[in-house]
Amino acid sequence: MPSSFKRPDWEQAPVVVIGAGLAGLTVALQLAERHRVIVLAKRNADEGATAWAQGGIVGVLGDDDSVDSHVRDTLDAGGGLVDEQTARYIAERSAQAISWLLDRGVAFSPDPTGPLGLHLTREGGHAVRRIAHAADATGKAIHDTLLEAVAQHPNISLRARWMAVDVITSRHLKREEPTRCYGVYALDIDAQRVETLHAGAVVLACGGAGKVYRYTTNPDTATGDGIAMAWRAGCRVGNMEFVQFHPTCLYHPTDRSFLISEALRGEGGLLKLPDGTRFMPAHDPRGELAPRDVVARAIDFEMKKHGVDHVWLDASHLGEVFLREHFPTIYARCLALGIDIARQPIPVVPAAHYTCGGVVTDLAGRTDVPGLYAVGETTYTGLHGANRLASNSLLECVVLGRSCADHILQSDPPANVDAPDWDESQVEDADEQVVIAHNWDELRLLMWNYVGIVRTTRRLERAWARIQLLRGEIDDYYANFRVNRDLLELRNLVDCAELIVRSALMRHESRGLHYSRDFPDALPVSFPTILGRAAHSRERRTDRQDRPSLFD
């Protein structure tokens, strides 16, 4: 190491966590007793996807349950592409994750007779009741509790309305060395100024890319920022073709993003056609409790077959008292929209919900770039395979968020280097924002029409061609005008759209969440789809032997 460099301590080189959802907050809290942490939230800190999660978090807790059973259900839902080692690692730590949350004051729904005094519910794809929940607003209960702890911690600086622009790597420093991460360029949205944040480690906890589709259950923050930044930094991404469409999003002219929790079907809600006929038993013997990909395709099929805009989810037979007690959020939200779910069915449609692929990481959150970590929906860990099992996502955030922090705690920060400041000398203020708005709408509509629940090669090729034209316009805009949040989000979305389409074109079969009319059958043997940038062209399907591993 050149003598001009010196080893900083973690006070000089904090950990920067990008994202204030469950994954990011878990990492921050686990680190904060020993390290200074900066958490960036590009909108208000309470606006991420975690707070929108209704169902719950998996915990292998009951006497009728086991790690093997949970792993088996995860493998079944994942369509043959789940990494069993990952699924077992996370399942084995599910009880610890629940206890960790309880220790921090999360108020799960109680049941004096239940394990740990908790009420457990059941969701599609699960063999038994193993979902810990806080009524039907689990994500909000968890998020509010952890967010309060983060806001009060003296070692954590929570910066709302700050958005990461790009990861600072060796390329920015013009250094001839293997690529590593030294920090992040971040936009202070209110000040409209890009700052250089030096970091001992950067953790991408930015959530998924649901906003790449016109209809989604995701909040406005879900623009694939972490996936796009990691890709541009040189990381591999995996399984981007597997986008989960939640079967039951509320169909209403003024509220198109409200999720109707899977737990409502878990407690006995029935899917019906306009004439009141149940249709799920004709598609799968598990009926309404089939995995999400099966239910979403069944609804899509029935809507097209009967020419209807939605189907009905009927829970009225469960009774008003039960619905008010177990689903107060859904009950109140629907009632405010004129739908009394105790007396009438709920109109529902599928909508983009969860990004099962993402940045390739190991079980410590390590990416291909040293010093750069990723956790949560931003990642591909092998847990979700071709389809995510319900309520595994919050569990993954806690388990791997903690293991990510533990790895950082055991690591030394990088050498102290000076990254160049953000250069705006060659750009100017945008003359009009209509270009961004138009491209945003066009991108999301073409992804919905051509890269949705059911795909064809011709649709994917049309999407690819149009994405290339949009990319040219967006790159030109980015090169010539000062950045703002809308532009940065659009730039990240077009990267994610391209990755989804490239991955979908490579998969010549139907499996899990990827269904192609041109290749309707599953191959006897299949592997994850991995895209890499080592030579700016490397892309392949592979087993996961060449990826970084916690067990190396």
Asked if residue 383 lies in contact with residue 399, where contact means CB atoms within 8 angstroms, the answer is no
Cut 0.85: pTM above it: yes
Residue type, 411: S
pLDDT > 70: percent of the chain:
93
For residues 55 and 379, which has the higher predicted lDDT (pLDDT)? 379
Of the listed 292, 388, 544, 547, which one is catalytic? 292
Q: What is the pLDDT of residues 26-66, one digit of tens each?
A: 999 999 999 999 999 999 988 888 877 777 999 999 899 99
Q: Which CATH number fits domain 248-352: 3.90.700.10, 1.10.10.10, 3.40.50.300, 3.40.710.10?
A: 3.90.700.10
9 pLDDT above the threshold of 80: no
550 pLDDT above the threshold of 50: no
Instruction: Give CA 260 to chain center in angstroms.
Output: 18
Residue type, 209: A
Name which CATH class applies to 434-522+529-535. Answer: mainly alpha
Residues 6 or more apart whose CB falls under 8 angstroms from that of 541 comprise: 506, 526, 527, 528, 529, 530
Model confidence at 11, pLDDT cuts 50, 70, 90, reads: low
Q: Where are the domains of the chain?
A: 15-241+356-409, 248-352, 434-522+529-535
Task: Tokens for 1, please give them.
Answer: 């190491």
pLDDT (0 to 100) of residue 536: 38
Q: What is the pLDDT of residues 328-370, one digit of tens each?
A: 999 999 999 999 999 999 999 999 999 999 999 999 999 999 9
Model confidence at 70, pLDDT cuts 50, 70, 90, reads: very high
Residues 6 or more apart whose CB falls under 8 angstroms from that of 342 comprise: 316, 318, 319, 320, 323, 324, 331
pLDDT (0 to 100) of residue 436: 86
The candidate with the shortest Cα–Cα distance to 376, out of 27, 92, 102, 33, is: 27
Task: Tokens for 47, please give them.
Answer: 């606006």
The C-alpha atoms of residue 264 and residue 443 are separated, in whole angstroms, by: 33
The full DSSP string for 150-188 is: HHH-TTEEEEETEEEEEEEEHHHHT--SS--EEEEEEEE
Residues 6 or more apart whose CB falls under 8 angstroms from that of 375 comprise: 23, 24, 26, 27, 203, 204, 205, 361, 365, 397, 400, 401, 404
Domain 15-241+356-409 and domain 434-522+529-535, same fold? Reply is no
Query: Can you state the angle between helices 392-409 and 138-152, rounded to 10 degrees?
Result: 20
pLDDT (0 to 100) of residue 324: 95
Q: What is the pLDDT of residues 294-334, one digit of tens each?
A: 898 899 889 989 999 899 999 999 999 999 999 999 999 99
For residues 255 and 31, which has the higher predicted lDDT (pLDDT)? 31
The C-alpha atoms of residue 341 and residue 335 are separated, in whole angstroms, by: 7
Cα(first)–Cα(last) distance of the chain, in Å? 26
For 37, phi then psi, to 5°, come to -130, 140
Mean of the per-residue pLDDT values for the chain? 90
Q: What is the pLDDT of residues 520-543, one digit of tens each?
A: 999 999 999 999 975 333 343 333
Summarize the confidence of residues 166-191 as an average pLDDT: 90
The C-alpha atoms of residue 552 and residue 545 are separated, in whole angstroms, by: 10
Q: How many CA atoms lie within 13 A of 315 on its CB side?
A: 30
Pairing status of strand 193-198 against strand 243-250: unpaired
Which helix H or strand E contains 246, and what residues bound it? strand 243-250
For 218, phi then psi, to 5°, come to -80, 155
Active site residue 292: yes
The C-alpha atoms of residue 39 and residue 27 are separated, in whole angstroms, by: 10
Architecture category of domain 15-241+356-409 in CATH: 3-Layer(bba) Sandwich (3.50)
Pairing status of strand 515-516 against strand 57-58: unpaired
